[in-house]
């Protein structure tokens, strides 16, 4: 495959991030951590290749990830963990919707005040 025919490559594993619902970059965009104008400049990674972020996804459709060490959510403040789980899980679910509903990029982000 020609380099121009490939999608974005994961900076962690080197494999192509083929689907938007697997994109850590777009998950961070949906939850407000990356602005639209930064999408082309930020590195891409699979959601599961960023366990520090992925550990906060709590959904039956996502196999849980645990992190050992200082970024382990079990070592963090429980109230902060609940807030982060809510945000990241909502963002991950939103990525599932984005694909199914064929939304435009400006419609991806969550309403953070819901």
Structural domain contains residue 84 = yes
Give 112's pLDDT tier (boundaries 50, 70, 90): low
Residue 91 lies in a domain: yes
Q: What pLDDT was estimated at residue 107?
A: 80
The pLDDT of residue 5 is above 80: no
> Is 114 among the domain residues?
no
Q: How confident is the model at residue 8 (pLDDT cuts 50, 70, 90)?
A: confident
63 or 107, which is more confident:
63
pLDDT band at 1, cuts 50/70/90?
A: very low
Residue 112 falls within a domain, yes or no?
A: no
| Enclosing domain of residue 73 | 3-107
Residue 45 clears pLDDT 90, i.e. is over it = yes
What is the pLDDT, as a whole number, of residue 6?
55
* Residue 113 domain flag: no
pLDDT of residue 4: 45
The answer to whether 76 and 65 are in contact (CB under 8 A) is no
The span from the CA of 95 to the CA of 99, in Å, is 7
Q: In this predicted model, which residue has the larger pLDDT, 58 or 8? A: 58
**CA 48 → CA 12, 20, 66, distances in Å?**
10, 13, 11
**Span 11-16, mean pLDDT?**
96
User: What's the DSSP call for residue 71?
Assistant: T
Q: Domain tally for the chain? A: 1
User: What pLDDT, on a 0 to 100 scale, did the predictor assign at position 37?
Assistant: 92
């Amino acid at each position: 495959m020609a380099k121009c025919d490939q999608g974005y490559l994961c900076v962690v594993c080197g494999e192509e991030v083929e689907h938007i619902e697997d994109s850590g970059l777009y998950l961070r965009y949906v939850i407000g951590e990356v602005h639209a104008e930064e999408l082309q400049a930020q590195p891409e990674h699979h959601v599961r290749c960023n366990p520090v972020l992925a550990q906060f996804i709590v959904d039956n459709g996502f196999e849980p990830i645990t992190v050992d060490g200082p970024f382990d959510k079990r070592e963090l403040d429980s109230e902060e963990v609940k807030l982060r789980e809510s945000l990241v899980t909502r963002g991950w679910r939103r990525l599932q919707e984005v694909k199914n509903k064929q939304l435009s990029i400006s419609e991806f982000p969550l309403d953070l005040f819901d």
